[in-house]
């Protein structure tokens, strides 16, 4: 097992979204990574510039941020070879760390484009250092920039930001400042490769909530009708909880509910319905214990939404 902090830089269609390849909206043009030891200190690194195969020029907004010369990219390694070298360098059973939740997904999407997705079986468990920073030092919800975290710890800036290897080094330095008891209980799961069958469904307990990721369904309605998807269990004891408020759809297109465990009180449920690239659907459900006041706020929220929808119908 090895701890791998990695960062990706990518390009997008210089001609705008209408000319973009829907299979690859973001083409990876650089991979940077740092291997950490058990003390979370750097011991080796990896870097590759990647020769573009899909977009023949750098998008202006991308060029402003990462300052990569297109002529240098044309001397780079093609993605299939570069990613093979990267994964070989990672070794067996790597534990991935990133800043934010997009790099793991884009790595898989680029792998799929080249027919190489089987190289990283999914769903992929990894650690989002941006989230871990928020859990340890803020409210667990807000998301700060990498440079903000570097400034927070007064870490010396020896390199510019928005280059893959430099950002991987900086992410590792932030990680070093987070105690392990805040890191390893708070893994993230990327569902670009979502569960396909009931056997593959995911149940995971975090320090403050539980998460369930369902198998695929043909449509949203079938997803929400599934008994396991719409069930509620106490995140503490795991026993079925009595429903106090049925699932309702809020303005953020998230289903919410309130249930009660006789021993541990109120439970707030959230269900996000996700659509796959193959036009299938699956659910991500979280259950969290909340106070009576928070449960009442959710009830008032539901009633407010009902009134607004009723007024729209009357008009």
pLDDT at position 17: 82
Query: pLDDT per residue over 56-97, tens digit each?
Result: 877 766 655 667 777 888 899 999 999 999 999 999 999 999
Which tokens in the block code for residue 290?
Answer: 């909340």
The answer to whether 20 touches 13, Cβ cutoff 8 Å, is yes
Q: What is the Cα–Cα distance from 29 to 12, expressed in whole angstroms?
A: 10
CA angle 62, 6, 156 (to 5 degrees): 80
Query: pLDDT per residue over 100-120, tens digit each?
Result: 999 999 999 999 999 999 999
Write the CA distances from 127 to 10, 100, 158, 182, 262, integer angstroms: 21, 9, 25, 11, 34
Segment 34-56 mean pLDDT: 94
pLDDT at position 15: 80
Give every strand in the sheet of 210-213, ordered side by side: 202-205, 210-213, 281-290, 265-275, 255-261, 242-249
Q: What is the Cα–Cα distance from 166 to 172, expressed in whole angstroms?
A: 10
pLDDT at position 172: 97
At residue 314 the predicted structure's pLDDT band, cuts being 50, 70 and 90, is low
């Amino acid at each position: 097992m090895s701890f791998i902090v990695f960062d990706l830089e990518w390009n997008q269609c210089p001609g705008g979204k209408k000319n973009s390849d829907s299979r690859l909206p973001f083409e990876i043009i650089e991979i940077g990574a740092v291997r950490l030891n058990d003390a979370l200190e750097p011991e080796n690194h990896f870097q590759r510039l990647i020769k573009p195969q899909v977009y023949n020029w750098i998008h202006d907004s991308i060029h402003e941020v990462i300052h990569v010369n297109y002529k240098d990219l044309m001397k780079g390694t093609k993605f299939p070879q570069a990613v093979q070298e990267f994964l070989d360098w990672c070794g067996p059973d790597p534990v991935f760390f990133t800043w934010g939740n997009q790099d793991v997904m884009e790595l898989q999407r680029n792998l799929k484009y080249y027919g190489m997705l089987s190289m990283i079986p999914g769903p992929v468990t990894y650690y989002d250092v941006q989230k871990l920073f928020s859990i340890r030092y803020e409210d667990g919800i807000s998301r700060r920039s990498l440079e903000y975290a570097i400034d927070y710890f007064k870490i010396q800036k020896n390199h510019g930001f928005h280059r893959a290897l430099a950002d991987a080094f900086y992410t590792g330095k932030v990680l070093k400042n987070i105690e392990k008891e805040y890191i390893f209980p708070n893994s993230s799961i990327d569902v670009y490769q979502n569960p396909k069958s009931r056997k593959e469904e995911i149940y995971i307990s975090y320090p403050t909530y539980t998460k369930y990721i369902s198998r695929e369904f043909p449509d949203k309605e079938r997803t929400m009708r599934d008994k396991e998807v719409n069930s509620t269990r106490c995140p503490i004891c795991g026993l079925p909880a009595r429903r106090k408020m049925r699932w309702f759809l809020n303005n953020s297109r998230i289903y919410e509910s309130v249930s009660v465990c006789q021993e541990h009180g109120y439970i707030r449920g959230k269900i996000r319905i996700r659509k796959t690239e193959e036009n299938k659907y699956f659910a991500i459900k979280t259950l969290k214990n909340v106070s009576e006041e928070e449960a009442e706020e959710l009830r008032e929220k539901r009633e407010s939404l009902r009134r607004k929808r009723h007024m729209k119908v009357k008009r």
